[in-house]
Copies of this chain bind each other. A is one copy, B any other.
Amino acid sequence: MATIYDVSVLAGVSLATVSRVMNKNAKVSEKTTQKVLDAMKQLGYRPNAIAQSLASNRSNSVGILVSELHGPFYGSMMSGIEAELRTAEKHVIIAAGHSEEALEKDGIEFLISRRCDALILHVEAVSDEYLIELVNGDIPIVLINRYIAEIANHCISLNNELGGYYATKALLEQGHREFAYISGPSWKMDAQDRLSGHQRALTEFNVPYDATLTFEGDYQETGGSKGISYLLKQSRPFTALICANDEMALGAMTVIREKGMMIPEDISIMGFDNIFLSQFIHPKLSTIDYPIKQMGKMAASWTLKNTFNQAEQEITHIFTPSLVMRDSTRPV
């Protein structure tokens, strides 16, 4: 693979001149520029990004850490980030943390070791302290879906509690009084927040919270299936099921139908996240909109602004969820 040196020899100029025409940051005569360009083309020269990074201490890339590489939530997030960054000619380097502390730290180490210019992290297992320390390091960092007061301006998060509140309130206003709830993993902050919102709404309507009709799921379809199976076995009846995300709602719906019940006639179902698919399933899922794509875009804008000094735009740090009523819920 040709190097800058080969190009300089062929073009009959110095190595520095070649570097200059690449970076267009210094005046080079029209004529030599052309000579260099020709030589580059002739050699099929491609700059070595690694060497560039080492010499300049910048990589023109931002690192992204997601929990999983699959799933609609992370898919939207990655797409949102990449789309925004691409307009600025920055690249992304993606790693997966799998919601495990060791792997998350590992992924972050990897991204740092690759000398990313900034990091966008969706982390769940590492501690606040760890993150605060990280933010105080020398590499710019944004957190998605996590709010830490001490570093609030590094956070792009959704008010999950409010989302949980909206979800339950909507059903309460439809007359529902008996609820079942399939939550996310209880150690995850967003799962806790959504459940808190649920409870707040119940309290507001003087409806007691029934722990026996709560199931801790895993945010996946199978969690929803297992959850509803469990809940249906309990002695207490319920008219509404709230799932802490759409995937679990989907899993639950499948089982409910298998048991011969109708949605929403027998059970109203509410999801959370408003994944793209939720409008294509049957019945169309009522849910809480989580604008994750825009949040990804916003996180990317943050790095553009704070790292690459581009486009001074307004950064929204806390997003507000909104209710999306469709066909899986109905008044009782």
- A71 adjacent to chain B (CB < 8 Å): yes
Among A48, A78, A280: residue with most chain B CB under 10 A: A280
Q: What is the CA–CA distance of A113 and B95 in the complex, to the nearest angstrom? A: 18
CB closest residue in chain B, given A113: B49
Contacts of A254 in B (CB 8 A): 279-280, 282, 284
Which of B69, B113, B138, B282 is the one whose CB lies under 8 Å from A75? Answer: B69
**A96 and B82 within 8 A (CB):** yes
Q: How far is the CB of A269 from chain B (nearest CB, A)?
A: 12
Known contacts A1-B138, A49-B113, A113-B49; decide if A93 and B96 are in contact (CB<8 Å): no
Q: What is the CA–CA distance of A276 and B94 in the complex, to the nearest angstrom? A: 23
A contacts with B, residue count (CB < 8 A): 47
**B114 and A50 within 8 A (CB):** yes
Among A59, A113, A251, A276: residue with most chain B CB under 10 A: A113
Known contacts A75-B69, A280-B251; decide if A54 and B46 are in contact (CB<8 Å): no
- A99 adjacent to chain B (CB < 8 Å): no
Copies of this chain in its oligomeric complex? 2
Among A69, A251, A284: residue with most chain B CB under 10 A: A69
**B92 and A92 within 8 A (CB):** no
- A76 adjacent to chain B (CB < 8 Å): yes
- A331 adjacent to chain B (CB < 8 Å): no
Known contacts A70-B79, A94-B94, A280-B250; decide if A51 and B48 are in contact (CB<8 Å): no
Known contacts A46-B113, A92-B94, A113-B49; decide if A253 and B277 are in contact (CB<8 Å): no
- A319 adjacent to chain B (CB < 8 Å): no
Contacts of A71 in B (CB 8 A): 75
- A317 adjacent to chain B (CB < 8 Å): no
B-contact 0/1 string along A230-263, CB 8 Å cutoff: 0000000000000000000011011001000000
CB closest residue in chain B, given A91: B110
- A68 adjacent to chain B (CB < 8 Å): yes
CB closest residue in chain B, given A138: B1
Known contacts A94-B93, A257-B282, A281-B281; decide if A113 and B48 are in contact (CB<8 Å): yes
Sample 29 A-B pairs with CB under 8 A, ordered by A number: A46-B109, A46-B112, A46-B113, A48-B113, A48-B115, A49-B113, A49-B115, A50-B54, A50-B59, A50-B113, A50-B114, A68-B79, A69-B75, A69-B79, A70-B72, A70-B76, A70-B78, A72-B72, A79-B96, A91-B95, A91-B110, A92-B95, A93-B94, A94-B94, A221-B277, A250-B280, A251-B280, A253-B282, A281-B281
Chain A positions near chain B (C-beta within 8 angstroms)? 1, 46-51, 53-54, 59, 68-72, 74-76, 78-79, 82, 91-96, 109-110, 112-115, 138, 221, 250-251, 253-254, 257, 276-277, 279-282, 284
A49-B113, A71-B75, A250-B277 are known contacts; what are 19 more A-B pairs with Cβ within 8 Å? Answer: A46-B109, A48-B113, A48-B115, A50-B50, A51-B54, A70-B75, A70-B76, A70-B79, A79-B96, A82-B96, A91-B110, A93-B93, A221-B276, A221-B277, A250-B280, A253-B282, A254-B280, A277-B277, A281-B281
Which 9 A-B residue pairs are closest in the complex by CB-CB distance?
A70-B75, A49-B113, A69-B78, A94-B94, A70-B79, A250-B280, A50-B53, A69-B79, A50-B115
